[in-house]
């Protein structure tokens, strides 16, 4: 195998890897969506139960396309560009219960291609170009749902064999080409019997033959946006006479471009249909005289959504339980029209233009009132308008402009369990105790109600309250520390975005059942209150977007044991090395922390995000060790430096003298002919022999001797340099055993050599006074080398040698 083969393999592998399917559940659920595959990958195990193969490229389904998947239940082949399906195409996956073929341009359906799927319950053939319901599916006796929406089907006639499909419950024919429904089209539908849902929405119906649905029982009929014209709509409803249906959905979708005129007789057809629930998706603008509910007085659920009504008249409902009026632009909450309807249990009136509420009188069964998203302003809430509704459990007045709560406003509403005022400006509640009689209240939402709490007894009496949401309000002084004392059953408390700076240690001391505490978006700097032993049930704690920089370790160790979700994100965390305990706790407790990736360090630059979880604790440990190492190094350095200073003290003095700007020797006249470097022990020889022969000889030679010529009061080093080395033309070195042992002699000799290096003159004259072992001359730096390279004089007592010695010495000194 050579380079090119290996390279080819390396290139090809990533391509192949990109085509593998995603394993959703090991061995059971795989997704090959959007891989442009034209075959089923072999790595799909035979145990697979759900296979998503949508958005691929199969084109032609035959038996060989699918491996044997005995356990496959759900197969999604949406948008696979399938054009032909052969017989036995699904033989190897014959245990399917759900098959999706959505969006495939199928031009050839083999007669028996689906008939091998004996266990199929759900068949989706949406947008495949189907023209008829006459499918060859007689073996699918367990079929429950058939969705053939968005096709070109012209008749809703079902094949006769489907009358034996006892489980069949949903026929979805939305957005097809059905224009006429005749009596013989619904024969099979009638035989299937009860529990059927029929969806005919968005078909261009022209005509429904009267009697077509007589005796038909349906659970749901959807005919929204189904008629091509107003006339056909009117006739169509009349054509449905005799139908029994639980849920009737009619009207028009919001995005249907058609717009029909209002007509008083439009709804007459509804009176001949027997329905329990009516869902009217309205687009029309109705005149105030029209009574759209005339044919719905026997319904138990009435929903009207959309359109324009403005005003409704009196309706003699006598079975109604639920009434929904949504987005109909009504001006007033129709309390007057609904009063005395003793069967109504639920009233939903949302997204209208109502500004006022008429009183609800004599409605003993009304439990649920939802008036959110209107323009309601109430001066005194709430018993004034709800005095006839003693059983109300749910009251929603959220998303309205303003509500004033009065003292005694809830007397008579003791059954209330859920009260919602969120995003409605509330007056009165922050200053007075107004809710004390609501013993059964479990849920209270006054979020973003512009309330400032000044009274610590605002929630007095709410002994059953479990959920309290009051985000976006504020507290005066330390009211927050006492406000919750009576809420002993509270489980969920939301005081986010309330400008809270500090919470006292005992603020939540009575909340033994608290599980969820939300303090997001405040200005807290500490969470010490969380260590209260009474908060042991707490599982969720949100304190993100506060001003917490650090939490002491002793606090972290006392957090509630059940705490499983703790949000500390978006706080200015102090990520310095003095907080390594806190950093370590965060890093080790990411399982409990919510959004740990958003726990960011406080940084100088506002653009840089540094996560606490990315903080390197080892860096701090390393830093500490580095400091210790540096200290040790400094101490060692100082000691070594001291030793070196002592060792080289003479040289340092010499450098100091030079640095003081010593004058060039050329500028100074030499005082002596020669400077004599010798040991004190050799002084006798120097005085008796050297001085006698040189200074007393002819001509006389002036010598510089340290015991005679050095200036008193001047340092020895300075004398050596000034008078000796620099003040003499020549230097005579008297080498003896004592010379070798003398530190001063070595120093002087080395200084002499340095001058020699500078001036490049052979001005050092060495006299060997006595034989010195060669190994000892090496002790003196450079002496051994000097003796090797330069001629020296050797003293001897022999008269002849002695005479030659003095002649040579004198000559050397006199030489320039």
Partner 1 sequence: MKTYFNMLLFLILGLVQMDRAHSQDPQWPLHTICNSNKLTVTYRSCVISDPLQDVGVSFLPCPNKLTDPTTVRIAFILRQSITEFYSSIKLFLNGLHVWGVDEPLCLPQFPRFTFCGSRRGEMITFEMLIKSKVDLPLKGDFNLMVHGINQDGFQIACVNATLSFW
The binding site for partner 1 (CB under 8 A) comprises 2, 4-5, 7-8, 11-12, 14-15, 18, 33-34, 54-55, 76, 78-79, 100, 102-103, 124, 126-127, 150, 175, 201-202, 225, 253-257, 279, 281, 303, 305-306, 324, 326
CA distance 794 to 805: 7
CB of 103 to partner 1, least distance (A): 4
Phi first, then psi, for residue 42 (nearest 5°) are -75, -15
Q: For strands 728-735 and 764-768, give the pairing.
A: parallel
CB of 503 to partner 1, least distance (A): 33
CB of 621 to partner 1, least distance (A): 40
Number of other CB atoms surrounding residue 495 within 10 Å: 25
Q: Enumerate the β-bridge partners of residue 51.
A: 30, 75
CA distance 548 to 241: 69
CB of 175 to partner 1, least distance (A): 8
Q: Alpha carbon of 199 to those of 163, 225, 723: distances in Å?
A: 18, 11, 125
Toward partner 1, which CB reaches closer, 18 or 533?
18
Q: Which residues of 22-61 are buried (b: 16+ CB within 10 A; e: fewer)?
A: eeeeeeeebbbbebebeebeeebeeebbbbbbbbbebeeb
Toward partner 1, which CB reaches closer, 187 or 228?
228
Toward partner 1, which CB reaches closer, 225 or 474?
225
User: Max alpha carbon distance in the chain (Å)?
Assistant: 165
Q: Which helix or strand (DSSP H or E) is residue 704 part of?
A: strand 703-704
Judge whether 765 and 733 are in contact, CB under 8 Å: yes
CA distance 31 to 14: 19
Reported in sequence order, the residue ranges of 479-570 that DSSP labels E, i.e. its strands, are 492-494, 516-518, 540-542, 565-567
CB of 197 to partner 1, least distance (A): 13
CA distance 314 to 298: 15
Toward partner 1, which CB reaches closer, 257 or 699?
257
Which tokens belong to 365? 């069964």
Toward partner 1, which CB reaches closer, 281 or 410?
281
CA distance 772 to 741: 11
CB of 386 to partner 1, least distance (A): 24
CB of 12 to partner 1, least distance (A): 5
CB of 254 to partner 1, least distance (A): 5
CA distance 788 to 480: 99
Toward partner 1, which CB reaches closer, 122 or 359?
122
CB of 518 to partner 1, least distance (A): 21
Toward partner 1, which CB reaches closer, 127 or 723?
127
Toward partner 1, which CB reaches closer, 38 or 134?
38
CB of 104 to partner 1, least distance (A): 9
Toward partner 1, which CB reaches closer, 140 or 199?
199
Toward partner 1, which CB reaches closer, 57 or 362?
57
Q: Which residues of 261-280 are buried (b: 16+ CB within 10 A; e: fewer)?
A: eebeebbebbebbebebbbb
Toward partner 1, which CB reaches closer, 126 or 315?
126
Q: What's 327's DSSP letter? A: S
CB of 55 to partner 1, least distance (A): 7
Handedness of CA 315, 319, 321, 324 (dihedral sign): negative
In sequence order, what DSSP letters do the residues of 562-614 get, joined into one string? Answer: T--EEE--SS-B--SGGGHHHHHHHHHTTTTEESGGG-BB--SSTT---BGGG
Taking each helix axis from N to C end, the angle separating 649-659 and 617-647, rounded to the nearest 10 degrees, works out to: 90
């Amino acid at each position: 195998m050579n380079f090119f083969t290996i390279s080819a393999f390396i290139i090809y592998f990533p391509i192949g890897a990109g085509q593998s399917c995603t394993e959703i559940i090991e061995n059971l659920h795989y997704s090959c969506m959007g891989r442009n595959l034209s075959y089923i990958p072999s790595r799909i195990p035979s145990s697979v139960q759900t296979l998503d193969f949508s958005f691929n490229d199969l084109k032609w389904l035959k038996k060989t396309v699918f491996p044997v998947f005995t356990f496959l239940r759900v197969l999604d082949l949406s948008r696979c560009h399938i054009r032909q399906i052969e017989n036995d195409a699904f033989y190897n996956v014959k245990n399917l219960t759900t098959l999706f073929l959505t969006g495939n341009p199928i031009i050839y359906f083999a007669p028996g291609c689906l008939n091998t799927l004996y266990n199929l319950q759900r068949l989706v053939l949406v947008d495949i170009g189907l023209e008829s319901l006459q499918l060859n599916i007689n073996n699918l006796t367990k079929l429950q749902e058939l969705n053939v929406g968005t096709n070109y089907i012209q008749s809703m006639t079902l094949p006769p064999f489907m009358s034996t499909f006892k489980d069949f419950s949903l026929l979805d024919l939305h957005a097809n080409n059905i224009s006429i429904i005749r009596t013989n089209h619904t024969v099979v539908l009638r035989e299937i019997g009860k529990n059927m849902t029929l969806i005919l929405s968005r078909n261009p119906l022209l005509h429904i033959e009267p009697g077509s649905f007589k005796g038909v029982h349906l659970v749901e009929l959807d005919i929204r946006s189904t008629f091509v014209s107003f006339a056909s709509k009117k006739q169509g409803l009349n054509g449905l006479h005799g139908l029994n249906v639980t849920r009737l959905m009619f009207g028009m979708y919001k995005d249907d471009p058609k717009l029909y005129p209002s007509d008083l007789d439009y709804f007459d057809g509804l009176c001949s249909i027997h329905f329990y629930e009516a869902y009217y998706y309205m687009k029309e603008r109705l005149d105030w005289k029209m009574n759209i509910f005339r044919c719905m007085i026997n319904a138990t659920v009435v929903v009207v959504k959309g359109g324009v009504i403005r005003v409704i008249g009196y309706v003699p409902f006598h079975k109604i339980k639920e009434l929904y009026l949504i987005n109909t632009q009504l001006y007033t909450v129709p309390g007057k029209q609904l009063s005395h309807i003793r069967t109504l249990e639920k009233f939903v009136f949302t997204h209208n233009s109502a500004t006022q509420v008429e009183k609800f009188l004599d409605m003993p069964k009304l439990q649920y009132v939802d008036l959110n998203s209107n323009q309601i302003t109430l001066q005194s809430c709430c018993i004034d308008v709800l005095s006839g509704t003693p059983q109300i459990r749910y009251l929603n007045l959220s998303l309205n402009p303003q509500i004033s709560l009065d003292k005694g406003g809830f007397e008579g509403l003791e059954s209330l369990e859920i009260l919602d005022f969120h995003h409605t400006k509330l007056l009165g509640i922050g200053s007075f105790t107004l809710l004390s009689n609501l013993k059964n209240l479990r849920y209270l939402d006054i979020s973003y109600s512009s309330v400032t709490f000044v009274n610590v007894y605002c929630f007095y009496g709410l002994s059953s309250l479990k959920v309290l949401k009051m985000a976006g309000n504020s507290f005066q002084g330390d009211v927050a520390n006492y406000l919750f004392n009576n809420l002993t059953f509270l489980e969920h408390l939301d005081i986010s975005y309330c400008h809270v700076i500090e919470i006292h240690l005992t603020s939540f001391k009575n909340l033994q059942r608290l599980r969820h505490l939300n303090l997001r978006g405040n200005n807290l700097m500490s969470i010490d209150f969380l260590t209260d032993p009474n908060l042991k049930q707490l599982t969720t704690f949100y304190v993100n977007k506060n001003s917490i920089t650090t939490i002491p370790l002793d606090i972290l160790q006392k957090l509630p044991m059940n705490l499983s979700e703790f949000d500390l994100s978006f706080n200015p965390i102090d990520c310095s090395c003095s907080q390594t305990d806190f950093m370590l706790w965060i890093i080790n407790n990411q399982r409990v922390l919510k959004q740990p990736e958003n726990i960011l360090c406080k940084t100088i630059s506002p653009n840089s995000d540094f996560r606490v979880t990315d903080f390197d604790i080892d860096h701090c440990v390393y830093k500490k060790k580095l400091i210790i190492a540096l200290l040790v190094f400094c101490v060692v350095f100082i000691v070594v430096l001291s030793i070196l200073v002592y060792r080289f003290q003479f040289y340092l003095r010499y450098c100091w003298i030079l640095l003081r700007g010593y004058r060039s020797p050329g500028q100074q006249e030499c005082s002596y002919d020669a400077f004599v470097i010798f040991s004190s022990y050799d002084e006798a020889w120097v005085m008796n022999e050297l001085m006698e022969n040189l200074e007393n000889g002819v001509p006389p030679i002036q010598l510089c001797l340290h015991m005679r010529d050095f200036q008193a009061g001047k340092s020895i080093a300075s004398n050596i340099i000034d008078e000796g080395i620099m003040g003499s033309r020549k230097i005579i070195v008297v080498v003896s055993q004592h010379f070798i042992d003398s530190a001063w002699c070595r120093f002087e000799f080395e200084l002499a050599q340095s001058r020699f290096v500078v001036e490049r003159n052979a001005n050092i004259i060495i006299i060997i006074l006595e034989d010195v072992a060669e190994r000892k001359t090496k002790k003196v730096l450079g002496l051994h080398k000097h003796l090797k390279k330069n001629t020296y004089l050797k003293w001897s007592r022999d008269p002849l040698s002695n005479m030659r010695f003095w002649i040579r010495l004198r000559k050397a000194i006199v030489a320039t």
